[in-house]
Amino acid sequence: MSSISLHNISKVFPDGTQAVQEISLEIRAGEFLVLVGPSGCGKSTLLRLIAGLDELTGGSIKIGGENAASLLPKDRDLALVFQNYALFPNLSVYDNLSFGLKARKVSKVIIKEKIIPVSQRLGLEELLQRKPDELSGGQRQRVALGRLLVRNPSIHLLDEPLSNLDANLRTSMRHELAKLHNEYQKTTLFVTHDQVEAMTLGQRLCVMNQGRIIQVGTPTEIYDFPEHRFVAEFFGSPPINLFKGEIQSVQNNSFFTNGSIQIPLPKDSDLSEREIELGIRPEDWTVHNEAPSHSVSATLQRIENLGDTRILHFATQENAIIAKSELREFQVGRQYFLTPHWNRVHWFDLQTEKRVLR
Ligand code: ATP
C-alpha cells in the first residue's frame, strides 16, 4: 500500500488557467479520500497530476515516499478509472480485463488466474465474451472496476465513476465500492461533485473550490463544523439558511439581528458586537404553533412532502427560511414560531467567510 503526499502543488495550463493552486495534502496508505467540489474546481486535474498524465507547474508529489518526478506514469503503481470508463469498444470483456496485464507481458495462464476471481466477485462471469456496447451502464462500470482490480495497483484513482449511472444503480454501486475498498484496502482517491456520494463514501473528504483546498476532514467534521461558509453551503439538502446581520448587545443581553429576524443569544454566548453571518441548517429549527419566548415569527408558504419528512418554506418580512420536520400537521398560510438549536448553529465572518467559533 502506498501513501500519497502532495506538497504545495500547482498547475497552470498554457492558456493561463490556474487549475490547481498551492495544494498540500497527505493521503494515508489504504485510505479512501474523496475530492469534492463544484464543476471546474480542479479535481480531475489533481488526479491527472498524481497519475502523471499532466506535468506539475510547481510543488512536488511523493508516492509511497518516493518523489514522483522520477517515476513514469506506468511505474507509479496506480490506475485511473474515468467517468466514461474508457473501455476498448472492439475488445471483449475478457480482453478488456486482460489488456493491462498483456501489455506487461504477463503469461496467459496467470492472466486467467487473476481474471476469474475478479469477474466472479463483480458478477461478470457470464459476460466475458461480450463487447462493451452489449453491456448496460452498470455492467460497463463493473468492467472498468474489474480492470483495475485485475491489475491490482496500490493506488486507485476514480474520476466520477458513478456519474453515468441512474440513481438506483449509483446507490448500489456506492455500496459495492465501499465493500471493495474494505476487502482490498487500497489507497483510493475518488472524485465527485455529488455531496451525498462524498459523505457516504469518504473516510475523509477534501473540499475544493477554485483550485484550492477549503477544508479536509471526516464527513462529520465537514457537516457539523464547516470551516468556511462555502463548505456549509455545499453540504446539506435543502441548503443551510444563511443570514447576514450583526450581534448587538443591550444591557448585557446579546442578540443577532438582521431586520426582521431578532434572536437573543444564549447567556453563555461569547460573541461580541460585530457584523456576522449566521447559518442554521433546515433540520436545526424547532417549529412551534404558539410563540415561545424569543422566537422568529414566520408564515408557512409551501410544504414539500418527502414522505418521511416535510420541507417547510417560511417567509418573514425580509427573509426566506427553510426548515425540516418529521411532523405532519402543517398548514400553508399559517403563522408559526421558529427557534434554532443553538448548539448546532454556525457563525461566519462577513469578510473572510471563515468560521467564527463561539
Ligand atoms: P468537473 O467536475 O466539471 O470535471 P473538475 O473539478 O474536475 O471539473 P478540472 O477538469 O480539473 O475541474 O478543471 C479545472 C480548471 O482547469 C477548469 O477551469 C478547466 O476549464 C481548466 N482546464 C482543464 N483542463 C484544461 C486544459 N487542458 N487547458 C486549459 N484549461 C483546462
Instruction: Convert the pLDDT of each residue in 161-188 to its tens digit.
Output: 888 777 877 888 888 889 889 988 999 9
Q: Express as a percent the part of the chain with pLDDT over 90.
A: 63
Give the confidence band of 189 by pLDDT, cuts at 50, 70, 90. Answer: very high
Inform me whether the pLDDT recorded for 1 exceeds 80: no
Question: What is the per-residue pLDDT across 274-312, written as a single tens digit (0 to 9) for each?
Answer: 889 999 999 999 999 998 888 899 999 999 999 999 999
| Euclidean distance between CA atoms 291 and 295, whole angstroms | 7
User: What pLDDT is attached to residue 187?
Assistant: 96
Between helices 93-103 and 108-121, what is the axis angle to 10°? 130
Expressed in angstroms and rounded, the spacing between residue 59 Cα and the centre of ligand 1 is 19
User: What pLDDT is attached to residue 340?
Assistant: 92
Residue whose Cα lies nearest atom 1 of ligand 1: it is 39
Q: Show the ligand 1 pocket: residues with CB < 6 angstroms.
A: 13, 15, 17, 19, 37, 39-45, 193
Expressed in angstroms and rounded, the spacing between residue 181 Cα and the centre of ligand 1 is 27
Inform me whether the pLDDT recorded for 45 exceeds 90: yes
| Euclidean distance between CA atoms 55 and 11, whole angstroms | 8
* CB atoms closer than 10 angstroms to residue 71: 17
Q: Which residue is it, cell 485485475?
A: 150
What domains lie within the chain, and their CATH numbers?
Answer: 4-234 (3.40.50.300), 241-348 (2.40.50.140)
What the block records as the C-alpha cell of 159 is 474520476
Residue whose Cα lies nearest atom 20 of ligand 1: it is 40
Nearest CA among 350, 355, 32, 35 for reference residue 224: 355
User: What pLDDT is attached to residue 273?
Assistant: 81
Report the length, in residues, of the chain: 358
What the block records as the C-alpha cell of 214 is 477549503
Which one has a higher pLDDT value, 343 or 337? 337
**Strand, helix or coil for residue 150:** helix
Nearest CA among 161, 211, 222 for reference residue 46: 211
